[in-house]
Structure 1
Amino acid sequence: MKTAVIPEFFARLKKAMPEPETELEYDNVYQLLVAVVLSAQATDVGVNRATGPLFKFVKTPAQMVALGEAKLIDHIKTIGLFRTKAKNVIALSHLLLERHGGEVPRTHEELEALPGVGRKTANVVMNVAYGEATIAVDTHIFRVGNRTGLAPGKNPLQVELKLLKRVPDEYKLHAHHWLILHGRYTCKARTPLCPACVVNDLCTFKGKTVAA
């Protein structure tokens, strides 16, 4: 994709989705962090189904620690890798209490020092909770970046760095959500809905689908 058309690419996504938001459900930054950790290799719908009842009474790291790993597993056992995720959530909750006064830190370094928190999770928290212009590359954004020609890369980090370089500053804050929602509902993995795509003519994908 030529650099000259990228502003138009995001202008159209913005027009289609003026106020993009995460589809994970949460009431505070701590719950957001937990939800994002649980969302690895899982759907937002599946995570919300599990955290809905849980988040009604677990709103802080202290409450999560008090709940304990075994009871947490009971709440999240419908989510993939639930045992590992439960262990990480309890461990990161302990560290938040010990090192950060129960608050979720604001830097990449501090976030990625927490169990179960990688670069993608840190980027989501920094963007959604703290308004930082970070771009977390998940499977949808990786696909959209490569398929459209917007930010080709062999791995998520390459795509992220290319997006940070190519996305105009005025669109960086919401770029993560525009791209993930576009990938989730339009630029789908198996059968992209190219005829309904608002950026069809700007996309360089050679295997575009056509209207039936």
Structure 2
Amino acid sequence: MTTRVSFVSPAMSSSLRQARFDDGGSIDAGGEARARAAAGSLPAAARIVVSPGVRCRETAAALGLDAEDARELAGLDVGRWRGLTLAEVGAAEPEAVARWLTDPDSAPHGGESVTDLCARVAHWLRAAQETDGHTLAVVEPEIVRAVVVRVLGAPPAAFWRLDVPPLTLTSVSGRDGRWNLRLGHPLDSGM
């Protein structure tokens, strides 16, 4: 059985614009409008899931999706850095930020390491291969990064080299533990 999973990154928010670690904020008006405009461009899916974060749930709603929460697809837990900008953390803890960005096993914020996130997402992907039909998932950008790392067999250090623009679609398909990757398609491009 071939499995297909399509991952949609959330719409723009003020947190994304400010390079702020997720603060539970909403998508902005422009992001919501873009998501509503793209609502009809999504491929049909037998199963629709969403990261539990506010911006993912709001994006799913703006896209007209009735999605179930997928806790295992929650964004990267950045512990005490949540709600701060990267610049703020870099000014207060420059060595910790440098270590975090270069060592995927590091979690100086007290949350989850990139390696742990990649393992969590790999576990979810293995389980997804048992699901019949197409799955559509509205997820945080770091989940998409972890998927790409896993599918390509790249080291977790590659995680920070991947950019995931808002409202783009990244798809994987495969069977028997082997995946193919299709990435970065804007939702409003008439897929």
TM-score (norm 1): 0.27
Q: Is the helix fraction higher in 1 or 2? A: 1
TM-score (norm 2): 0.29
Q: Is the strand fraction higher in 1 or 2? A: 2
Higher RCO (C-alpha under 8 Å, 6+ residues apart): 2
